[in-house]
Amino acid sequence: MTEKSYKNLKFLNSKHARSIRILCEYEEPKNRFKNSQVENTIVFFGSARAISKSDAKKKLDAAKLIDDKNSRKLEIKKAKRLVKLSKYYDMTDQLANKITAWVREENKNYHIVTGAGPGIMEAANRGAFRADEKRSVGLGISLPFESELNPYISEDLDFEFHYFFTRKYWFLYFCKALIVCPGGFGTMDELFEFLTLRQTGKIQKEIPTVLLGKKFWDDFLNFEALIDYGVISEKDLDMFIITDSVGEAYQFLKKNLDKEI
């Protein structure tokens, strides 16, 4: 018997069916979001490499016990970097927990959204899950070095995308607030694409945006230099705040989200 086209996996996974697969990554999440009443989201971006401070300290203690001097030196260096980054894992967990607790208490329809992986993503899902196990969304992406979604994503809200651009669409479509934590190339890609869409008016709604971790952002980016060179306007810096305080970030987000709903 001849197989129906929509059951032909060889065809569906071929380059000729790419447009169909792209459409699936739009329609299937759309249907699940509707069924779960996901309409407004608070998005967290950040490094997949971060771990909690307690876990980072354990790695540092273990590194100090390595017998081989050269290996010990290398592993201590790596562990100290993890300790430095761990501050932001814990801050993310706290902020996501505070926001979700407020959302639950005020009966507001917001969901925390992350990229579903480890690190900062795990911390945000974890913090949200502890406050309300039904409000933690993970938009995963198929990557060779991130094989599983973190365990704190709510049931039926765990997604795995193949295409980065369809995943990015769902990050921003429902987005009502954005928190960007220290991260690498992927985090910066997502941040600057978001800021470009805001700057050019492709996103016209006001989206309160927090860059969490002042020292990291001051060390990494000189926003004032962009103004000095004339490549952005001074008003472009009004699109976000930079803070090292979970409390300040929480109050800023709560104040601005109260205007939304």
Query: How many C-alpha atoms does 11 have within 13 Å on its Cβ side?
Result: 7
Residue 18, domain member (yes or no): no
**Residues in CB range of 185: below 8 A, 6 or more apart:** none
Confidence of residue 147 (pLDDT cuts 50, 70, 90): low
Helix (H) or strand (E) holding 177: strand 175-180
**Can you give the pLDDT at residue 2?**
77
Residue 81, domain member (yes or no): no
Residue 55, domain member (yes or no): no
Residue 68, domain member (yes or no): no
Residue type, 16: H
- Nearest residue to 123 via CA among 47, 201, 68, 65: 47
Residue 16, domain member (yes or no): no
Please write the tens of the pLDDT for every residue from 29-65.
999 999 999 999 999 999 999 999 999 999 999 999 9
**Can you give the pLDDT at residue 252?**
97
Average pLDDT, the chain: 94
Confidence of residue 7 (pLDDT cuts 50, 70, 90): confident
CATH number, domain containing residue 181: 3.40.50.450
Answer whether residue 145 shows pLDDT above 80. no
Answer whether residue 20 shows pLDDT above 70. yes
- Nearest residue to 207 via CA among 246, 178, 236, 241: 178
Please write the tens of the pLDDT for every residue from 173-216.
999 999 999 999 999 999 999 999 999 999 999 999 999 999 99
Residue 58, domain member (yes or no): no
Answer whether residue 143 shows pLDDT above 90. no
Q: How many domains does the chain have?
A: 1
